[in-house]
Structure 1
Amino acid sequence: MQKVALATGLLARFALWMAGIGLVLMTVIIAAQVFFRYILNSSLVWSEPASVMIMGWFIFLGAAVGIREGYHLSFDILLHVLPQKAKLVLHTVSDLVVAGFGVGMVWFGSELAAKTAGNMVPSLGISGAYDFIPIVGGGILVVLFSLERVARRAAGLQTARFGDDAELEI
């Protein structure tokens, strides 16, 4: 379990760095577009579709890392009155539902990519499938990180630094 946690931790760190780089890159592209449009009275025709594509990556990569770290949205009013064992069962059910959602992202994202593979993004000159690849990549990470949380919980390990079962000790 330790090697798996190390590998997924490195993968999560890499994904978070890529998301951060994507956010900065998108900001630079948008700033360049503003400069070109309002200062140089010209326009970068590729800036908007490139920024949207980059945004897809940093959103889905960041969301997957958030799931691994236990920062995803949850409705946990009931959990405040339940015993620890019941909390762990409900957290596991939640993680399995999130993993199922990730499977849907992979499945339907792949279908969308396949259906748009023949279309071209005119200003970028690439296939329209690239707009949907972040959904597939993020879905794969969502499944992987959700299943890691289930496995860590089954092994009696803490699933996140400040996550749902922080009472457990590693």
Structure 2
Amino acid sequence: MRQFLRFEDITTGIALRLSIAFLVIAAGLALYQVITRFVFGVPSTWSEVITRSAMIWSVFLGVAVAVRHGAMISVDVIQNALPRRLGLLLFVIANSASLIFFTVLFWQGWLMTERVVPQRLAALEVSIAWVYAALPVGSVFILIATMAAIVRALRGDWNDARDAEADA
């Protein structure tokens, strides 16, 4: 299990760095779009498409990081109100439901990505499949992070985090 948790640490670090890179690209191109449209009066035809695509990638990669840090919407109030073991059980059940959801999202995202390969992004001669690929790729990162969260909780790390919150 230690090796899996190290693997998850590496994959989530990769997801974090890629998510940040896509966010920087999106912000830079959005600024470029505003400048070309409102300052020069000649809007760029390609920057808006790439900005939107970069935001999609940033979100799907960033979810894995949010799962890793426990920043997703959860039922913390209920978990903390329950006895420790019952709260842990609820945590595992909720994360197991997330595993099911993101497995379905992976599969459907994969099928959709294959389906749209012949389609092109507006203003670019690039397949729209590159944008749709964010679903299966992001889902893989999210599945790894979610499995690691369950492993950490079952190893007792969930209890440590809960005790730290109670002390604060």
The two structures share one fold, judged by TM-score above 0.5: yes
Paired AA for residue 158 in structure 1: D
1:6 match = 6
1:91 match: 91
**Separation in 1, partners of 2:22, 2:28:** 10
1:140 aligns to 2:135 (yes or no):
no
CA deviations 1:93-131 (Å, max 9, x no partner) are: 111111111111111111211221111113121112122
Q: Which residue of 2 aligns with 1:15?
A: 15
The answer for the alignment partner of 1:49 in structure 2 is 49
Q: AA paired with 1:76?
A: D
Q: Who is 1:116 aligned against? A: 116
**Aligned residue in 1 for 2:157:** 158
Query: CA distance change for structure 1 residues 12 and 93 in 2, over 3 Å: closer, same or farther?
Result: same
Q: Give the Cα separation in 2 of the matches to 1:39 and 1:167.
A: 52
TM-score by structure 2 length?
0.89
Alpha-carbon distance between aligned partners in 2 of 1:152 and 1:90, rounded to the nearest angstrom: 14
Q: Measure, in 1, the Cα distance between the counterparts of 2:4 and 2:163.
A: 19
Instruction: Give 1:102's aligned amino acid.
Output: F
Structure 1 residues not aligned, in runs of 5+ = none
Name whichever structure is richer in helix by fraction: 2
Distance in structure 1 (CA, Å) of the matches to 2:78 and 2:34: 48
1:146 deviation in Å? Answer: 1.1
CA RMSD in angstroms, aligned pairs only = 1.9
Q: Distance in 2 between matches of 1:153 and 1:47?
A: 43
Shift in alpha-carbon separation, 1:168–1:3, aligned structure 2, 3 A: farther
Task: Letter of the 2:19 partner, please give it.
Answer: A
Give the whole-Å Cα distance in 2 for the aligned partners of 1:112 and 1:33.
Answer: 29
CA offset at residue 165 of structure 1? Answer: 5.5
User: How much has 1:6 moved relative to structure 2?
Assistant: 1.9
Percent of aligned positions with the same letter in both sequences?
Answer: 22
Contact 2:15–2:141 (CA<8 Å) still a contact in 1?
no
Q: Distance in 1 between matches of 2:54 and 2:102?
A: 20
Q: State the alpha-carbon separation in 1 of the partners of residues 6 and 152 from structure 2.
A: 12
TM-score by length of 1: 0.88
**Number of matched residues?**
164
Which structure 2 residue ranges, 5 or more long, are not aligned?
none
Cα distance in 2 between the residues matched to 1:167 and 1:90: 13
Structure 1 stretches of at least 4 aligned residues deviating more than 6 Å after TM superposition: none
Shift of 1:153: 2.5
How far apart, CA to CA, are the structure 2 residues paired with 1:32 and 1:132?
A: 24
Does the 8 Å CA contact 1:29/1:47 hold for their aligned counterparts?
A: yes
